[in-house]
Structure 1
Amino acid sequence: MCWRQIFFSWLMCCLFPAVVSAGSMQMNPVADTLKEKPKVAAAWIDEIVAEKKEPEKEKVEYISQLTRYGFKNLFEKYSYNPGITQSAHLNPQASLFIRDYLNRHQDHLLALKDWGIQYFNLMDQILTRYGLPRELKYLAVIESNLQTSATSWAGAAGPWQFMPVTAREYGLMVNNRTDERRDYFKSTHAASRYLLNLYKQFNDWLLVIAAYNGGPGRVYEAIKKSGSRNFWELQYYLPEESRNHVKKFIATHYIMENEQAAGVAKKMYHFKPWTDGISPLNNRQQLSPEELAGAQTQTISGKFLAAVIARNVDMSLTDFNRYNPSFNEQLEQNGQFDLMLPEDKMNQFLANKYQILNESVQTMLSPEPVAPTRTVYPKKPLRKKG
């Protein structure tokens, strides 16, 4: 038996260097691929900005994987999990700002959250089309209180407070007759392209927000003087207005998204009483060839609920979930969903899409289901804070 042991020992000695070499060869392409990702994304962002139009779906999915980590300095740990309440993992350095902001502005922001639902829904859909975090809509809150008529002393205008030169650069018409900075739809598209371009430079949303307020040059200067790209370390090298702009965004983001701050008891969609006690996860029956042939698909984004769609297109929730298993979970996780419905049901959905979206949002925020015929419109805008 001894000769076998000698043979296997000799064989392992011969094979081991080859295994190590193979492992080394596998590591290099991975490292190179990771280095190439920002270059590819930067090239695509340049293309999106230059063409002044929405990017293709493939590019959106790719870019969204990079931009989702841009709030790393807002949270205490890099491994930010949207499923955990923000109070559990918010950067401790932000807590004092939030406490003060809550005391002074919570009522105003919660009222704005109510009457601004339709504006937020529109912004959510457009930001998602560019692969951007939907939380960036709160930048428009601190810029203008969502007011299209807002005009700064420096000449910035509209909900996103574009200066005329920047507005034209990103595709908006600004002249004596037309000012598209005050158009919610067009200005949000322009803001999305501008935010993407800033993110290409800084790879951190807190720095992007500072640059949105004071210009990229001042942020680069703060980075150079501080020797850091972390907002909390370079903040005092920024102008006070830009520094406070970031803190206002953090506090607004917290108040709008945190269920405790907002006083809203967030519920799991498929455990709500008006879902008839049925979980979409338990309804994965396959569709017949006839059902598939008669179905249509539409990519949607926004805060839709399965139960609300089903009720408005006259389908049982069981049938809806057969066509769209795990609808709520997948839409929440991915930001969009390929909705599948029979042709007549899809026509009903498209004809009442925005009413269904508004009802879905109200259902999430209300302790009781909202009547199907109820449509929510923005209330009279609040006066801008002095």
Structure 2
Amino acid sequence: MNRFLSIAVVSLLMFFTSAGKTWALPDNKNLHHAVRDTMVEDIATEDATIDEIIQARENQKVKKEKIAYISQVTQYGFKNLFSPTGYNTALPYSTQINPNAISFTQDYMRVHGNYLQKMKGWGQPYFNLIENILQQYGLPKELKYIAVIESNLSTDATSPVGAGGPWQFMPYTAKNFGLTVNSFVDDRRDYYKSTHAASKYLLSLYKEMHDWLLVMAAYNGGPGRVYNAIKKSGSRDFWQLQYYLPEESRTYVKRFIATQYIMEGSNNIDGSGDIAAFDEAMSRTTYGLSPTKNPYNTKPKLSAQQLVDVEVLPISGKYNSLVIAKNLSMDITTFNNYNPGFDQAMSTIGNFDLRLPPEKMQLFTANKYQILNECVQVLYNSTSIPSPTKTVYKRSAKKRA
């Protein structure tokens, strides 16, 4: 089911009266259940599509629209691996690396940077093959770097515990995903077959975790250890639960981020992968600022009269400035003048003191749950902000005495 269509239907049923003349503020409990049920339905659709892709035989072709659908879903989850706001090709790579992985990436580049830069040349035929297969399963092409971390792209790689091939499959996992492993044949060493198996395995892990950070940890240490860390920490945020994981697993995620940065991002600095250039670039980014220069300690750019009239409301959640401005019929520049650094603060620290004129604050307060729902849907679908004509909320009518 189309996500935005489902939300629109729910919104119409809940907010538009039977007479068709007025809008009414919904009951918060009912809205919560409607949003939750819609999200559950979306997850169920994803899971069913993933199962169909995994179970399809080599001579069966899954419909292109289903592959495209899963590709859109997995790209969203993949973006969480790097910048909190998602990767933007128009911005320097150094400004988009996940802030929690900066220090690790600096150290990793010093040790492995030159070798990985050389691999970009001799490894290109392998990368082309892997990318082609990953995309057949709707997976982000950047997952090819798992094979770099696991084996340095070597088919002969064998771990001390018996994992083998470029994707370092254990025999029982390889067999579960259709590979033959015996005394005569070892499909783990076959690039084509093992990459198909790895794609299915990654999809199955994504179906369980719905977050690439957790998928990476599970690929390294197994899903059981990830679930145990979730239980102990009470969180599904990798950066919150990482220290409940084995050191190897939490380091694995950061190794992937660092490898991806070195292999693709360094050319956006100086083309050499030089750590000095990386350090200099990071010093110019928001995340490279010293603790005394808090990037979120910003003041609104308002006139004296606007400062007198402004109302402040602490909020938290996946709010998006463009969605809020659209639904309040507010110019985005004006919104940013009231709330500088809004999106960055919300994506990184998760809360913000929202500032609005009184009439706009009244409209936001009356419709904040609907607005939050739309923000979540936009983030979840990784799409552009819908047209203002699609969702415009009206202020609820005041009760007469």
Q: TM-score range by the shorter chain?
A: 0.5 to 0.7
Read off the aligned partner of 1:227 and give its amino acid letter. G
Q: How many Å separate the matches in 1 of 2:86 and 2:261?
A: 18
> Which residue, out of 267, 271, 278, partners 1:263?
271
1:99 equivalenced with 2:102 (yes/no)? no
Shift of 1:19: 3.7
Q: Encode CA deviations 1:279-335: one digit per residue, 9 max, x unaligned.
A: xxxxxxxxxxxxxxxxxxxxxxxxxxxxxxxxxxxxxxxxxxxxxxxxxxxxxxxxx
The reply on whether 1:84 has 2:88 as its aligned counterpart is no
Identity %: 57
Q: Which has the higher contact order (CA 8 A, sep 6+)?
A: 2
1:20 equivalent in alignment to 2:23: yes
Structure 2, unaligned runs of 5 or more: 1-16, 274-401
CA distance in 1, matches of 2:186, 2:242: 34
| Cα drift, residue 47 of structure 1 | 2.5
- In 1, distance between residues paired with 2:153 and 2:270? 19
1:224 Cα deviation from its structure 2 partner: 0.7
**What is the rounded CA distance, in whole Å, between the counterparts of 2:194 and 2:43 in structure 1?**
27
SS of structure 2 residue aligned to 1:148? coil
The question of 1:61 aligning with 2:64 is answered: no
The answer as to whether partners of 2:93 and 2:269 remain within 8 angstroms in 1 is no
The aligned runs of 1:41-60 (5 Å cut-off) are 41-53=46-58, 55-60=62-67
1:257 counterpart SS class: helix
Contact 1:64–1:132 (CA under 8 A) maintained in structure 2: yes
Deviation of 1:176 (Å)? 1.1
Secondary structure of the 1:70 match is helix
| Counterpart selection for 2:125 from 113, 118, 130 | 118
Map 1:159-308; keep pairs closer than 5 Å.
159-258=166-265, 259-260=267-268, 263=271
The answer as to whether partners of 2:79 and 2:87 remain within 8 angstroms in 1 is yes
Q: Which residue of 2 aligns with 1:150?
A: 157
- Give the deviation of 1:116 after TM superposition: 0.3
The one-letter code matched in structure 1 to 2:68 is E
Change (3 A) 1:141 1:57: same
Give 1:103 deviation, angstroms: 0.6
SS of 2:78's partner is coil
**Alignment match, 2:357:** none
Change in 2 beyond 3 A, CA 1:83/1:168 = farther
Question: Residues 57-93 of structure 1, C-alpha deviation per residue, up to 9 Å, x if partnerless?
Answer: 1211110111011134433424443443331122211
Identify the range of structure 1 (90-99 vs 41-50) with the bigger mean alpha-carbon deviation. Answer: 41-50
Gaps of 5+ in 1: 1-13, 266-386
Rounded Cα–Cα distance in structure 2 between residues aligned with 1:93 and 1:127: 27
2 CA distance for matches of 1:261 and 1:159? Answer: 30
Deviation at 1:175, TM superposition (A): 1.2
Q: Which residue of 1 aligns with 2:291?
A: none
Question: What's the offset of the Cα at 1:96?
Answer: 0.2
TM-score computed with the length of structure 1 as normaliser:
0.60
1:22 Cα deviation from its structure 2 partner? 12
Radius of gyration: which is bigger? 1
Q: Normalising by the residue count of structure 2, what TM-score does the alignment of the two structures yield?
A: 0.58
Q: Deviation at 1:38?
A: 1.5
RMSD of aligned residue pairs (Cα, Å): 3.0
- Give the conservation status (yes or no) of the 8 Å contact 1:151–1:157: yes
Q: 1:58 to 1:237 in 2, by over 3 A?
A: same
Tell me if the contact between 2:151 and 2:168 (Cα under 8 Å) persists in the aligned partners: yes
User: How many residue pairs align between the two structures?
Assistant: 254
Instruction: Tell me if structure 2 keeps the 8 A contact 1:73–1:231.
Output: no
Equivalent-residue separation in structure 1 for 2:161 and 2:33 (angstroms): 51
